[in-house]
Amino acid sequence: MYATLKTSGIDVPDYLTVEQHRRYSFKHTLPSKGSILFFVDNPRDLIYRIAENLCDAVITGSDYVRDWKIFQKAQTHLPKKWQELTVHKFLKFENITACTGRLNFLVHESCGIPTLDEFFYQTHNPVCFTKFPYLASRKIQKSRGYTSKYHSVLPQLLATFFSTRGTHGVQFPIIYSHGLTESKAITNKNVIIYDIMCSGKTSNLNNLKSIYQDHELIYVGLFGINKTNPDNNTARLLTEFTQLLKAGITKTV
């Protein structure tokens, strides 16, 4: 993504150098002389920033956006300024991403479990780790194996593994993964992970196999808020930035 920004003429700091790899914001002047402030954050927190109206657009993965939308719809009390995310100008970066893949449920090969339904039929005290808890919960609730075992009891979303200790009434926990999600299933046969799989190389190296694959392709895109009364100057700058990115994508591909 940084290479595409540079090709688009954006003065991105060189994050491979010791001096600049911790520089998290920078300002760029567009050809029209308008300026845009960029900042770097992890993919999920970028969405929180735009929901809080702290920025006008973000470049992140569609998997994080889909997970956010499910979370947003499930809430009964949200700030009025939290509006729905849309794909700004429908700009996708499918052709330049290092990884274009799909979300999968994976288990360790030693489990010998062939399907998502069988995971719930055969596994005692199952646990799920994922960076996309709301997407995972929605998919799991559609599993016949899950509904057969837990009936109408919903999965419980937890912040850490230790949240399950001493917690009564937790039937099936979905635990937020803070990174290295694949490693969670290496030593625990009762663990299922829900993560994006691209080439499958990492999964093969760690003896993991997919037992369910999502049909929707994951892509990186420029996402913005669908505002009812957008600021004309902001809209103009975003349009100009989008055109620069499109030109950069063409050169990169």
- Residue-wise pLDDT tens digits, 71-128: 888 776 666 666 666 666 556 655 544 457 899 999 999 999 999 999 999 999 999 9
What is d(CA 47, CA 41) in angstroms, rounded to the nearest whole number? 10
Answer yes or no: do 107 and 196 share one domain: yes
Residue 10 sits in a domain of what CATH number?
Answer: 3.40.190.10
Predicted pLDDT at 166? 47
pLDDT greater than 50 at residue 202: yes
Answer yes or no: do 175 and 155 share one domain: yes
**What pTM, to 2 d.p., does this model score?**
0.85
Range of the domain at 168: 102-213
Answer yes or no: do 225 and 151 share one domain: no
Q: Are 127 and 111 in contact (CB under 8 A)?
A: no
Predicted pLDDT at 232? 87
What is d(CA 45, CA 71) in angstroms, rounded to the nearest whole number? 14
Predicted pLDDT at 98? 46
Answer yes or no: do 234 and 204 share one domain: no
Answer yes or no: do 222 and 141 share one domain: no
Answer yes or no: do 195 and 106 share one domain: yes
Answer yes or no: do 16 and 89 share one domain: yes
Share of the chain above pLDDT 70, in %: 81
Count structural domains, the chain: 2
Answer yes or no: do 206 and 151 share one domain: yes
